[in-house]
Amino acid sequence: MIEVIPAIDIIDGNCVRLTQGDYGQKTVYGDSPLEAAMKYETSGAGWLHLVDLDGAKASEPVNLDVLKVISGKTGLSVEWGGGVKSEASLKKVFDAGASRIVCGSVAVENPGLFSSWLSSFGPDRIVLGADIRDGFVSIHGWSRLASLGVDGLIDMFAGAGLSQVICTDISKDGMLAGPALDLYSRLQDKYPGISFTVSGGVSSVKDVENADAKGLRRIIIGKALYEGRIKTEELKKWWRKE
């Protein structure tokens, strides 16, 4: 059964969502990150996907105080993304309470360093973030395209112990038009030893059911939860506590 992970994106300490990765198309939501996290935990969630959008642009974590508060005041396991480009940053995020860290830009620009993290910290704690726009990997807070496709990026680390990939189709992100399930199914079939997380476009419980039916293992939901298109009580059978 697929695992559902709620997402909180942060700018200036606030819960936000971007549309297609555009910082100029930002919606700010009323709950604080802690309030949102506590609601998800109360409903039965075991994991939280927390994205530091300020950190992604700044190339270093910015909202670590938010991570510390959520880690200290909830029992959620936190998966962190945004701004981790050095081992010093990586250790700061782990020290602030993250259980897993998603790395994208550093994997593209310094693959040797990312491979060393897989070895040193373990593939259960280090996740490859593959954000895709127009077929190419996007880095630095989705502001730059690399000359590399998703398969090429995964191939760089498939032999180095990589076991988790979060793949975001940026064209779908924040659009509530359904995820790119054909893309994720193709990747899951090609790399059966890697768990792929569906990210971007989830708009209804039907999207979750369809992803589950295709044998996909994880799915992140953000905007659809914020806007009430999906109710937390509808997801109880897919929450997973560890």
In 3D space, the residue among 119, 131, 107 whose CA is nearest the CA of residue 199 turns out to be 131
pLDDT at 241: 53
DSSP 149-204: -HHHHHHHHGGGT--EEEEEETTTTTT-S---HHHHHHHHHH-TTSEEEEES---S
Domains for the chain: give ranges and CATH numbers: 3-238 (3.20.20.70)
In 3D space, the residue among 111, 99, 123 whose CA is nearest the CA of residue 48 turns out to be 99
**Predicted TM-score of the model (pTM):** 0.93
Q: Identify the burial level of 193 via C-beta atoms within 10 angstroms of its C-beta, where 0-12 means exposed, 13-18 middle and 19 or more buried.
A: exposed
Confirm whether 9 is a catalytic residue. Answer: yes
pLDDT at 173: 64
Confirm whether 207 is a catalytic residue. Answer: no
Of the residues 9, 52, 54, 169, only one is catalytic, namely 9
pLDDT tens, residue order, the chain (242 aa): 999 999 999 999 999 987 777 787 788 888 899 999 999 999 999 999 999 999 988 999 999 999 999 999 999 999 999 999 999 999 999 999 999 999 999 999 999 999 999 999 999 999 999 988 888 898 776 677 778 999 999 999 999 999 999 998 887 766 677 899 999 999 999 999 999 999 988 999 999 999 999 999 999 999 899 889 999 999 999 997 54
CA 242 – CA 228 distance, rounded (Å): 26
pLDDT at 147: 80
Residues contacting 6, CB < 8 A, separation 6+ = 36, 40, 45, 48, 49, 220, 221, 222, 225, 232
The token pair at 118 is 């897989």
Q: Identify the burial level of 198 via C-beta atoms within 10 angstroms of its C-beta, where 0-12 means exposed, 13-18 middle and 19 or more buried.
A: buried
pLDDT tens string 91-107 = 999 999 999 999 999 99
Taken as a whole, the chain contains a residue count of 242
CA 241 – CA 46 distance, rounded (Å): 4
Of the residues 12, 95, 124, 131, only one is catalytic, namely 131
The token pair at 63 is 């909202």
pLDDT tens string 224-238 = 998 899 999 999 999
CA 117 – CA 235 distance, rounded (Å): 33
